[in-house]
């Protein structure tokens, strides 16, 4: 199954997923502000997109970047699983 395709269905074809929606669906333990801080500091490795140049512009994550992030997290989980269950 293609993660990008599933995300397109989940987000009704939006290319950029707003940070609020992303936190609600994938990072419920973080507020949008905390999520942005973690991304900015490099703790969460996913690029943020600003709709405009302004610091106050709406922020989001491109659907392909989210798909890659989720696929990378899955790959790390599978590696860990196989280390412990061989």
Which two three-digit tokens encode residue 1?
Answer: 């199954």
The separation between CA 40 and the C-alpha centre of its own chain, rounded to angstroms, equals 13
pTM: 0.88
Model pLDDT for residues 56-75, shown as the tens digit of each residue: 888 999 999 999 999 999 99
DSSP β-ladder status, 59-62 and 16-18: antiparallel
pLDDT at 1 over 70: no
Residue 35 · residue 22 · CB < 8 Å: yes
């Amino acid at each position: 199954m293609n993660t990008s395709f599933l995300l397109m269905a989940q987000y009704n074809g939006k290319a950029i997923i707003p940070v609020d929606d992303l936190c609600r669906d994938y990072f419920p333990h973080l507020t949008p502000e905390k999520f942005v801080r973690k991304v900015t500091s490099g703790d969460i490795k996913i690029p943020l997109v600003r709709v405009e140049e302004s610091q106050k512009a709406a922020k989001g994550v491109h659907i392909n970047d989210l798909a890659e992030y989720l696929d990378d997290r899955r790959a790390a989980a599978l590696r860990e699983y196989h280390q412990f269950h061989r």
